[in-house]
């Protein structure tokens, strides 16, 4: 059985596709939300979920939560006298969800589909896969959280639309532009902030408490600090419904009072609210759309329950925002839908979900500069070539450093690995190599290099989970990616359209011939970009232009 899991910062959920629909899995408390908290009991036994959350205040030294923010890092988090990486703690949450699902369904879970923030980089995605391995299950597919939400939404609405999806959870903010039509969900662009979520608004209240009582910070104990955080969370939730909220906290033997109004909450939250603007603008800009171009603005993620967030987004976007599906459950529901698609279930096997590369992939060039090859938001699977030259005459080796990220300085991006390429000794001219990146939906990056003067080839495969593939797996992946590697100009449909344009040029005269010259040149320029989305749109436009010319010349046909 394949189980879908929304592994969240604050809470996690599981879902499965069965009996023609997606079904949420309750935990042994009969609740759908399982807190993403892990701890040790007084006897040193592992506890996960609701009980661990309850012990965050009383046993802060042996309990952890909000560790999703540290996925893919080397930060160690303490449970009792031992330290754990975030993926190790996450594996405990996954194991708990799997055990509850097996108990509820009476079946064995062999594979899971896990959602991650769209803006998770490869190291964070690799850590998520490691968490699955540590939990004893296979993770073949990771889905971006907004993509999962889009699946759940489209299953409900069943209509063609372009959505701006704002997924604002406990620890991360994801923005996605999604085209939904027929049985296809196409992710157009993504943007986000991996360090902005509901937890930050709670922390803002904590910091405001310290501003009101500055001497407390130095004297507060770990238990009292945990109590303060919980009180701040309660205040935040109260302000969802009331104009004011307050609490009293004992530190040492002294009581400290705190009172917060909606107005003050808005003031201390402004730096966080301002950070929401950038990823929204980037997603729209990358999609070449305005807010007016999208049909609906959809909110998912627990943080979007806050009236503060809803009101701010309405103000920022100058339009209403909608809550189409349960904010806490939307991503898990989408994961459940994907399990049905992946299992080729008859009720849903024809639904198609396309995804994109959230970060740019490129290589380092002279001057500590990032040279992009596959730009962010490239449709997956995707393949593209860049040409590079030696920097000195007589140079016999090129060391390619593979990078991921958006920073101009290569050293500020994530280093995925290296590939050494030998070139012939040449004192007369600079040697060149063609570097092709082929990237698929499962996070496998294949780098192919051709030395143009000799035809020598080099290949290397990079995985999100940093594991080396066997020769059989490499052959299988290369066969799968082979269809991607032809330049778009060589594709049959493209060649047919170009030939048709040239034929119509021969058939026409005057203004039609001038018009066709411009159209053919523009289409060839689009093909040179190797951008699949632009090529798709450009191909549709070029075909309509040719149809119009053919209509004028032949009256819609080739006969008399």
Report DSSP state, residue 441: T
Output the DSSP codes for 248-262: EEEETTEEEEEEEEH
Same domain for 222 and 146, yes or no, is no
CA distance 145 to 334: 8
- Establish if 230 belongs to a structural domain: yes
The enclosing domain of 444 has a CATH number of 2.60.34.10
- Establish if 261 belongs to a structural domain: yes
Same domain for 286 and 299, yes or no, is yes
Same domain for 459 and 524, yes or no, is no
Last residue of a domain, which of 313, 331, 355?
355
- Establish if 560 belongs to a structural domain: no
Report DSSP state, residue 503: H
Same domain for 427 and 524, yes or no, is no
pLDDT for 473 equals: 56
Same domain for 95 and 191, yes or no, is yes
Q: Decide the pairing of beta strands 82-84 and 63-65.
A: unpaired
Same domain for 192 and 204, yes or no, is no
Residue in 192, 116, 150, 166 with CA at minimum distance from that of residue 303: 166
Per the structure block, which two tokens stand in for 207? 């910091």
pLDDT for 260 equals: 96
The enclosing domain of 220 has a CATH number of 3.90.640.10
pLDDT for 343 equals: 83
Same domain for 187 and 230, yes or no, is no
pLDDT for 138 equals: 86
Which residue bears the tokens 């987004």? 313
Spans in the chain with pLDDT lower than 50:
466-469, 477-478, 481-488, 556-560
Same domain for 362 and 471, yes or no, is yes
Q: Decide the pairing of beta strands 111-116 and 2-6.
A: parallel
Same domain for 548 and 404, yes or no, is no
pLDDT in tens, 219-243: 899 889 989 999 999 999 999 999 9
- Establish if 546 belongs to a structural domain: yes
Helices (H), 436-556: 471-482, 492-507, 510-529, 532-554
Report DSSP state, residue 25: P
Domain count, the chain: 4
- Establish if 559 belongs to a structural domain: no
The residues facing 47 across adjacent strands are 39
Same domain for 240 and 119, yes or no, is no
Last residue of a domain, which of 208, 238, 268?
268
- Establish if 296 belongs to a structural domain: yes
CA distance 33 to 15: 11
pLDDT for 44 equals: 81
- Give the largest CA-CA distance in the chain: 100
Residue pair 206/230 in contact by the 8 Å Cβ criterion: no
pLDDT for 485 equals: 46
> In which domain, by residue range, is 523 found?
489-554
φ, ψ of residue 483 in degrees (nearest 5): -65, -20
Last residue of a domain, which of 452, 481, 510?
481
- Establish if 182 belongs to a structural domain: yes
- Establish if 501 belongs to a structural domain: yes
pLDDT for 79 equals: 87
The enclosing domain of 304 has a CATH number of 3.30.420.40
SS3 207: helix
Omega before residue 67 within 30° of 0, cis: no
CA distance 372 to 99: 43
Same domain for 348 and 362, yes or no, is no
Report DSSP state, residue 121: -
Same domain for 363 and 255, yes or no, is no
């Amino acid at each position: 059985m394949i189980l879908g899991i929304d592994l969240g910062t604050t809470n996690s959920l599981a879902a499965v596709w069965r009996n023609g629909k997606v079904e949420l899995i309750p935990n042994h408390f009969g609740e759908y939300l399982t807190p993403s908290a892990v701890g040790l009991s007084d006897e040193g036994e592992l506890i996960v979920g609701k009980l661990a959350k309850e012990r965050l205040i009383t046993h802060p030294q042996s309990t952890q939560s909000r560790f999703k923010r540290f996925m893919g890092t080397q930060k160690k988090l303490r449970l009792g006298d031992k330290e754990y990486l975030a993926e190790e703690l996450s594996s405990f949450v996954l194991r708990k969800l799997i055990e509850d699902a097996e108990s509820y369904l009476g079946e064995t879970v062999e594979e899971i589909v896990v959602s991650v923030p769209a803006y998770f980089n490869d190291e964070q995605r690799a850590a998520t896969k490691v968490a699955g391995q540590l939990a004893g299950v296979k993770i073949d597919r990771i889905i971006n959280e907004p993509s999962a939400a889009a699946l759940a939404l489209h299953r409900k609405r069943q209509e063609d639309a372009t959505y701006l999806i704002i997924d604002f959870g406990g620890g991360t903010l994801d923005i996605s532009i999604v085209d939904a039509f027929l049985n296809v969900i196409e992710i157009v662009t993504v943007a986000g902030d991996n360090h902005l979520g509901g937890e930050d608004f709670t922390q803002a209240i904590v910091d405001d408490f310290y501003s009101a009582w500055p001497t407390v910070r130095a004297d507060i104990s770990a238990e009292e600090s945990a109590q303060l955080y919980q009180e701040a969370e309660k205040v935040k939730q109260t302000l969802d419904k009331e104009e004011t909220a307050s609490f009293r906290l004992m530190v040492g033997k002294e009581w400290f009072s705190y009172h917060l109004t909606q107005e003050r909450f808005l003031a201390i939250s402004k730096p966080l609210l301002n950070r929401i603007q950038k990823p929204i603008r980037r997603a729209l800009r990358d999609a070449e759309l305005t807010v007016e171009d999208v049909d609906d603005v959809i909110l998912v993620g627990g943080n979007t329950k806050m009236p503060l967030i809803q009101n701010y987004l309405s103000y920022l976007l100058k339009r209403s925002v909608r809550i189409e599906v349960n904010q806490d459950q939307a991503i898990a529901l989408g994961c459940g839908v994907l399990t049905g698609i992946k299992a080729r279930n008859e009720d849903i096997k024809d639904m198609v979900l396309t995804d994109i590369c959230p970060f740019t992939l490129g290589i380092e060039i002279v001057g500590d500069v990032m040279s992009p090859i596959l730009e962010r938001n490239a449709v997956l699977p995707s393949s593209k070539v860049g040409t590079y030259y030696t920097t000195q005459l007589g140079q016999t080796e090129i060391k390619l450093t593979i990078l991921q990220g958006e920073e101009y300085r290569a050293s500020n991006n994530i280093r995925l690995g290296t590939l050494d390429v030998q070139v012939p000794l040449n004192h007369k001219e600079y040697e060149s190599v063609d570097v092709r990146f082929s990237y698929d939906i499962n996070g496998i990056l294949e780098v192919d290099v051709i030395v143009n003067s000799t035809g020598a080839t080099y290949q290397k495969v990079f995985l999100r989970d940093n594991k080396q593939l066997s020769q059989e797996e490499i052959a299988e992946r290369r066969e799968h990616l082979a269809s991607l590697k032809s330049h778009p100009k060589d594709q049959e449909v493209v060649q047919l359209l170009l030939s048709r344009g040239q034929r119509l040029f021969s058939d026409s005269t005057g203004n039609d011939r001038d018009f066709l010259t411009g159209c053919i040149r523009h289409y060839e320029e689009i093909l040179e970009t190797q951008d699949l989305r632009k090529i798709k749109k450009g191909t549709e436009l070029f075909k309509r232009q040719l149809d119009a010319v053919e209509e004028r010349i032949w009256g819609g046909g080739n006969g008399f």
